[in-house]
Structure 1
Amino acid sequence: MKRPLYVPVAAVLMLAGCGGGSTEKQFEGVPLERQDPGPTHVHGLGLDQRTGTLFIATHTGLFEVPRNEQRARRIGDRFQDTMGFTAVSPDLFLGSGHPDIRDDAPPLLGLITSADQGRSWKAVSLRGQADFHILRSRGRNIYGYDSSHERLMTSTDGGERWVENDVPEAFLDLVVDPTDTSHLLASGAATLYESRDRGKTWRTSGVVTGLLGWPTPQLIYLVEQRGRVQ
């Protein structure tokens, strides 16, 4: 991997999984309506490059931090546990996870999308069938790692229909080649994997692991658990 001379990393957050949705309308024993626990257990980050607003997907809802502000504020009044959060563009967010505990909904959200920066969400597919802890998108191609069944789901039509693929182990992260949507890198517990056929087959590519980034064809980031960037 090519090591950059400078990486503007403000914070490195190792993302952890969550269990199924709760049926009690409480958080830590207190009715949800009486409190706001704030952003706890961060699952993902997104940045609106037009405005500089940072979006934070957490176990207790989606939050935003506008440019030059120091405190996160809740988006809307929802406490949805948003997993697999990906800000594809300012007008398209992808997500998954578990519903607001006040909602009458299945515990697994499948693929959901938002066209208004998380103020509302639309169910797209696999509702009640998938818990995507990782979602990656290149155009109409979407890759989703479903932690509830340890499988990689691939779609070429924006998430309406899916193909299921086996994975060598549970994935920590996944990235897509910016110039070839069939070329993938994924990290497991202690191994880096590579696929050149949209996740149908995998080969070992290294014995390191961590969070991945692939912003340009020539530049791949790997952030280890202790924060070191390769």
Structure 2
Amino acid sequence: MNTTSSGRRPAASIGAALGAVVLALALGACSSGNTVDGAGSDPVLSHVHGLGLHDDTLYVATHQGLHTPDPEGRPTPVGDRRDDFMGFTVTDAGAFLASGHPAPGSDGPADLRLIASTDSGLSWQEKSLAGKVDFHALDTASDSTVYGYDSAAGLLRVSSDGVAWEDRATLRALDIAVSPDAPGTVLATTETGVVRSTDGGRTFGAASGPVLAYVSWGTADAPFGIDPSGVLFRGSSDGTAWERVGAVPGGAPQALTAVDGSRLFVATQDGVYESRDGGRGFDRRMAVEPGNDGH
């Protein structure tokens, strides 16, 4: 496949846009100035960093903690932590993993380390790497291996238990995705295209395909990716070829999670959207307000 629309922006332009996003995230450009709106107005969130589905409930990891949408699409806080969850994923067993930066005024180091929740985000426990890492992307394999991309070091780190970690490839990336049926196959989005590893992230091949910002691999035959302008792609079963699906509403993307070949969630500049037909149509599930701090 690996087909693209003739209306796509030139690869160099998209690469430049992705480079700016990668650089902003790599430098940890998180401001404490954006908060959930106070009493007397509808709550509005900015800066979505991750999406997850558990027991058919959508969880949205943001600059202001974890939220779920209410029936009217307004964000409802989960638990009492308002940390900046830069990295977030839900494991096959239903555990939540997150990383990023503590909420303003919190005690402790600037890097949140890896934390975990077994009660759907109501409470969190420290797992490892306290004060040592800020994962901007997290994913887990079918054998429970945890993959985390340390943006500050430009390093992929891998753990079998979320406690002891092994440093693997050094690369400049924005997002990662692990194959659901091949725990050692990993995709990473870079400024020149998608790179692929088949040895657990120890080495990556040459970049190929469209320049994507975010990737997610819900089922073996359905990796999805979205480019910096908001165009959605569906990948081949091995993640080496990509076919354009269409544009997602709301502008530039902030996060992507594919549940399977039909159902996926995308956060863009004005909302979190859900598709149940493989990305051909979307409904907005939650409002998002564009941030003004470049993050």
Q: What interval of TM-score do these two structures reach, taking the shorter chain for normalisation? A: 0.7 to 0.9
Aligned partner of 2:101 in structure 1 is 98
Distance 1:206 1:137, change over 3 A: same
Aligned partner of 1:147 in structure 2 is 151
Equivalent position to 1:189, from 188, 191, 205: 191
8 Å CA contact 1:111–1:125 kept in 2: the answer is yes
Aligned pair count? 209
More moved, 89-98 vs 140-149? 89-98
1:62 has 2:71 as partner? no
Aligned partner of 1:167 in structure 2 is 170
What root-mean-square deviation, in Å, do the aligned CA atoms of Structure 1 and Structure 2 show? Answer: 2.8
Instruction: Return the offset for 1:89.
Output: 4.8
Aligned partner of 2:57 in structure 1 is 53
Q: Distance in 2 between matches of 1:205 and 1:27?
A: 37
Question: SS state of the match for residue 154, structure 1?
Answer: strand
The gaps in structure 1 that reach 5 residues or longer are 4-13
Question: SS state of the match for residue 67, structure 2?
Answer: strand
Map 1:16-27; keep pairs closer than 5 Å. Answer: 17=25, 19=28, 27=33
Aligned partner of 2:50 in structure 1 is 44
Instruction: Return the offset for 1:192.
Output: 1.1
Report % sequence identity: 36
Residues 125-184 of structure 1: per-residue CA shift (max 9 Å, x gap) = 11101110010012320000001211000111x21111002323x211111111111111
8 Å CA contact 1:20–1:108 kept in 2: the answer is no
Question: SS state of the match for residue 201, structure 1?
Answer: coil
8 Å CA contact 2:58–2:68 kept in 1: the answer is yes
Aligned partner of 1:123 in structure 2 is 126
Aligned partner of 1:9 in structure 2 is none
Instruction: Return the offset for 1:20.
Output: 7.3
Distance 1:62 1:163, change over 3 A: same
Partner letter of residue 145 of structure 1?
Y
Question: SS state of the match for residue 183, structure 2?
Answer: strand
Aligned partner of 1:8 in structure 2 is none
Distance 1:121 1:59, change over 3 A: same
8 Å CA contact 1:38–1:74 kept in 2: the answer is no
More moved, 86-95 vs 143-152? 86-95
8 Å CA contact 1:165–1:200 kept in 2: the answer is yes
Q: Distance in 2 between matches of 1:224 and 1:140?
A: 28
Instruction: Return the offset for 1:198.
Output: 0.8
Question: SS state of the match for residue 185, structure 1?
Answer: strand
Distance 1:220 1:21, change over 3 A: closer
Partner letter of residue 76 of structure 1?
G
8 Å CA contact 1:38–1:60 kept in 2: the answer is no
Aligned partner of 1:220 in structure 2 is 223
Residues 64-85 of structure 1: per-residue CA shift (max 9 Å, x gap) = 114x332111123322111111
8 Å CA contact 1:21–1:99 kept in 2: the answer is no
Aligned partner of 1:137 in structure 2 is 140
Equivalent position to 1:80, from 80, 83, 93: 83
Partner letter of residue 81 of structure 1?
D
Question: SS state of the match for residue 203, structure 1?
Answer: coil
Residues 69-122 of structure 1: per-residue CA shift (max 9 Å, x gap) = 321111233221111111225741010001122321111111110111112111
Q: Distance in 2 between matches of 1:47 and 1:95?
A: 14
Partner letter of residue 192 of structure 1?
V
Q: Distance in 1 between matches of 2:129 and 2:211?
A: 29
TM-score, length-normalised on structure 1?
Answer: 0.80
